[in-house]
Amino acid sequence: MAGLGKIVFVLFASVYLVQAKHEEYDGHSLYEIRVNDYDQVEQVNAIIDDMNLDRWSFAVPGQDGLVLVAEGMKPLFENALNDIGVEYKIETENIKEKLELEDKILAEAAKMSNFTRSGAGLDLDVIHRWGVVDQYLTDLARRFPNLVRVVSGGRTFEGRDIKYLRISSNNFQTNSKPIVVIQSLLHAREWVTLPVTLHAIHKLVIDVTDQDLIRDIDWIIIPIANPDGYEFTHTNSRFWRKNRRTGFGVCAGVDLNRNYAFNWGTASSNSACSDTFHGSSAFSEPETQLTRTIINQFRNRIALYIDAHSFGSMILFGFGNRQLPSNALILNLVGVQMAQRIDAVKWPAHRNYRVGNIVAVIGYTASGGSSDYVQTMIGQRLSYTFELPAYRGSTGLNGFLVEPGFIRQAGMETWEGIKVAARYVVQNRLTLMNDEVTNQ
């Protein structure tokens, strides 16, 4: 009977943990905000920052924004919006219900899959955990030793390995070959970005239909740039954004996309409780140190850098301080070409991608970003932030929440855009690779 009691207790505890997983979000509402001009943009952003609310997307004229508001903050938030004459509506009354729905349909999708792993690679219709992806990278290097090398880029605050792949037909030995770098999950809650890097790996290693992309380019792919934060979103707090560093009092985590050196600390938060906390110093975190190491090692060969985020259907380039890189026209040209290709294969319900300088598009300055830093290091070459679509399906899930039917599509359509820029790099490699790399 004692053994039976233990089993019952374990089962009860497991059920309780599942039920309690999203309790912190009970009563949180998702607000949709509409602004008429950029004066209202600044006012709304100030309200959100002052109240330390969870901004999901920026409100700009012509595009509504989304903000998650705790139950106790709703009256204050609504009063503040009413005072400045900003329209709003509650898009989701209780986000906890949507979180429970996401858990349910993702679990059902995983069960319907014939496999989680197979000889053909990872199932591209599933959101995989860090441990599965970590092992997959190791297995790929064993299976394809002449094409794939797995690299340990260091360990996180909680001790997880930050692995990435080098994919090359000649082990990175041809210095004239340009390098493309793709990164995802720098922000932990942006689950739908993982299919981007996994799909790229699949098309470069397993289902190779574009031989020129392997012949003419070397690839560096970082699928999970923030392992600790990503795991935390699965086990504890779904909308966690930062890494999991502690030592800042009651609050934890550094926003890794505010921790890079370019303009560090000028348009981010010095409060550890903020989602945009920039950390104690530039490159204070092992996750951002990894990017710096890669850029320094291959600085003269990296021709294209893409940091995949969600959401908003945008392709953005620097700089986050309103200044433009000297090659802004080329960045915009190639960005538009990528967007047009994605738009040609996207789902009709999704809006077309917008392209431009980050401040011009979202109306908000930011510092210490990944793509800004890389742009300063690679000069006249190409550095972008992608913001994937916020899927609104029959389930009503949107924003950071993942609709299973969109997982494979997200990887496929983004890869189509990446290929455009990769081929631009090859076609213009003599100009790009001969440019002297200098800081902007």
Given the residues 91, 387, 403, 413, the one annotated as active site: 387
The single residue listed with the structure tokens 């094409």 is: 147
Residue 266 identity: T
At residue 183, the pLDDT reads 98
Query: Does the active-site annotation cover 87?
Result: no
- Indicate the pLDDT class of residue 435, thresholds 50, 70 and 90: low
Interacting residues of 80 by C-beta distance below 8 A, sequence separation 6+:
47, 51
- At 433 the three-state DSSP class reads helix
**3 pLDDT above the threshold of 70:** no
pLDDT at 12: 46
Q: What is the pLDDT of residues 385-395, one digit of tens each?
A: 999 998 766 67
Position 15 scores a pLDDT of: 43
Model pLDDT for residues 80-93, shown as the tens digit of each residue: 999 999 999 999 99
Secondary structure of 185-247 as H, E, C letters: CCCCCCHHHHHHHHHHHHHHHHCCCCHHHHHCCEEEEECCCCHHHHHHHHHCCCCCCCCCCCC
Q: Give mean pLDDT, residues 170-185.
A: 96
pLDDT score for 397 = 76
Query: How does residue 6 score in pLDDT terms, banded at 50, 70 and 90?
Result: very low
Query: What end-to-end distance do the CA atoms of the chain give, in Å?
Result: 72
Query: For residue 128, what are the CA distances in angstroms to 17, 51, 224, 231?
Result: 20, 34, 10, 10
Instruction: State the CATH class of domain 21-93.
Output: alpha beta
Say which residue, 123 or 397, is predicted with more confidence.
123
Within the chain, all domains assigned CATH 3.40.630.10 are found at: 104-434
According to the model, what pLDDT value does residue 115 have?
47
pLDDT tens for residues 282-291? 999 999 999 9
Q: Would you say the C-alpha torsion 257, 262, 267, 271 has a positive or negative sign?
A: positive
Is residue 172 within 8 A of residue 166, CB to CB? The reply is yes
- 1 Cβ contact partners less than 8 Å away, ≥ 6 residues apart: none
The two most distant CA atoms of the chain are separated, in Å, by 77
CATH architecture entry for 104-434:
3-Layer(aba) Sandwich (3.40)
DSSP letters along 366-425, please? --S-HHHHHHHHHTTSEEEEEEE-----TT---TTS--HHHHHHHHHHHHHHHHHHHHHH
Tell me, what's the pLDDT at 119?
52
DSSP letter for 24, please: G
pTM: 0.92
99-123 residue pLDDT tens: 999 999 999 888 877 544 445 678 9
* Residue 320 clears pLDDT 60, i.e. is over it: yes
For residue 38, the tally of other CB atoms under 10 A from its CB is 11
Contacting residues for 153 by C-beta, under 8 A, at least 6 apart: 161, 162, 163, 164, 222, 290, 293, 294
DSSP one-letter code for 170: T
Portions of the chain given CATH number 3.30.70.340: 21-93
